[in-house]
A = this chain, B = another copy of it.
C-alpha cells in the first residue's frame, strides 16, 4: 500500500483543523467559519477561516456535506488529528478511581478479570469494548485428572501451569473398567504433562492414539474430547462488553447490519484478527483502516497490555468515527496500565 502524501499544513491550518475536529466530535454538527472564530486561540475573521478551510478541503482533510454547509472532518482529517494534533488530556481522576475500585475486588480467575475489564471499559466510554486475555506463548499442561462421577460419567480436568483450568464431563462406554481409566490417566501424565500446549496437540494426533488403543477400543471420542476442552479454553480468551452500546452510536443503521456486527462479535477468531497490531502503544484505526466492511464507519482504539512472563493481552474500544479521540486515547492508555498492574498482582499472589 502506497503511503499517502501528507500535505504540509501551516500552524494556523493545524489549529483550525484541530478546532474543527474538536467541535464536530462534540456536537455532531458540521462546523462553519463564523462559529470557529470564537473557538480559536488566535483572532482572525471568518473570511480568513473560510480561506483556510478551502485549503484544508483542497488537501483532503475536511469536506462539505453540501454546497453551503459547514465542514466535517474527512477520515484523512481524523487521521491527521490523531497523529499530530491530539493533546494529552490528563485522564479524569474519577475514571482512574473507578477502574481501580472495580478491578480491586477479588477474582478467582484471570478470565473473570479480563471479562470484567470489557464491561468496565464499555461503561467508561459508553462504547463497545473488547478484551483479549494475556496469551502466554509457552504455557504447559501441568496436570490431568479423570474424575469418575458415577453412572458412566467422567469429568476430565486439564490444568495449565499458568493456573488455567479447563474441564468437561463426558460419558464412557459401560464396558470400560476403572483400571482402564487409570491407565489412560497414567499414560497422559507420563507422555503429555509438562509439555507446551502445541506439542500436546501434536502428540495427540500422532503417537498417543496408537498407545491408547491398548486400553480403549475407540479412542477417537476420547481424543476429540481433549481437543474440545483445549478449544474451549482458547475460545474463552475473548470478551465483549457493552454490546448494547452499539445501538446508541449506530442510529439509523439497517437492523440487518447490526445483526451482522453482533455475529462478528461472537466469532472471536474473526474479530481478534481485526484488532491491534502487536506494538506496544495505543493505536487508533479509523474507518476503512480497520479493513472490515462492517466496521468501516467506526473507529477502533486498541492497545496491548503486558503481563511480563505471562504474556500480553489486548484491549480495544469500538465507537463512532466522530469519537473524542483525546479522551479515548488517554483512557485506553490508563486502562491498559491498571489492568496490567492488576494481573501482575494476581499472578504474584498465585505463585507465592
Contact = CB atoms under 8 A, between A and B. Distances in A.
B171 A108 contact: yes
Nearest to A106: B171
A147 interface: yes
Interface stretch (A24-32, A52-60, A243-251, A268-276): A243-251
A169 B248 contact: no
Given A149-B159, A153-B165, 12 more contacts: A108-B169, A142-B150, A145-B149, A147-B147, A147-B157, A153-B163, A155-B157, A165-B169, A167-B167, A244-B255, A244-B258, A244-B259
A92 B171 CA distance: 35
Interface in A208-262: 244, 247-248, 251, 255, 258-259, 262
Interface string A99-142: 00000000011000000000000000000000000000000001
28 contacts: A108-B169, A108-B170, A109-B169, A142-B150, A145-B147, A145-B149, A147-B147, A147-B157, A149-B159, A149-B165, A151-B163, A153-B159, A153-B163, A153-B165, A155-B157, A155-B167, A165-B169, A167-B167, A171-B350, A244-B255, A244-B258, A244-B259, A244-B262, A247-B255, A247-B258, A247-B259, A248-B255, A251-B255
A108 B165 CA distance: 20
Contacts of A142: 150
Nearest to A262: B244
B143 A149 contact: yes
Please tell me how many copies of the chain the complex holds: 2
Contacts of A145: 147, 149
A153 B251 CA distance: 47
A149 B193 CA distance: 13
A244 B151 CA distance: 39
Interface of A: 108-109, 142-143, 145, 147, 149-151, 153, 155, 157, 159, 163, 165, 167, 169-171, 244, 247-248, 251, 255, 258-259, 262, 350
Contacts of A262: 244
Nearest to A250: B255
Contacts of A248: 255
A159 B167 contact: no
A91 B244 CA distance: 35
Nearest to A243: B262
A248 B255 CA distance: 7
A157 to B, nearest CB: 6
A350 B151 contact: yes
A257 to B, nearest CB: 10
Contacts of A251: 255
A165 to B, nearest CB: 5
A321 to B, nearest CB: 19
B159 A150 contact: yes
Contacts of A151: 163, 350
A165 B155 CA distance: 9
Contacts of A157: 147, 149, 155
Contacts of A153: 159, 163, 165
A165 B153 CA distance: 10
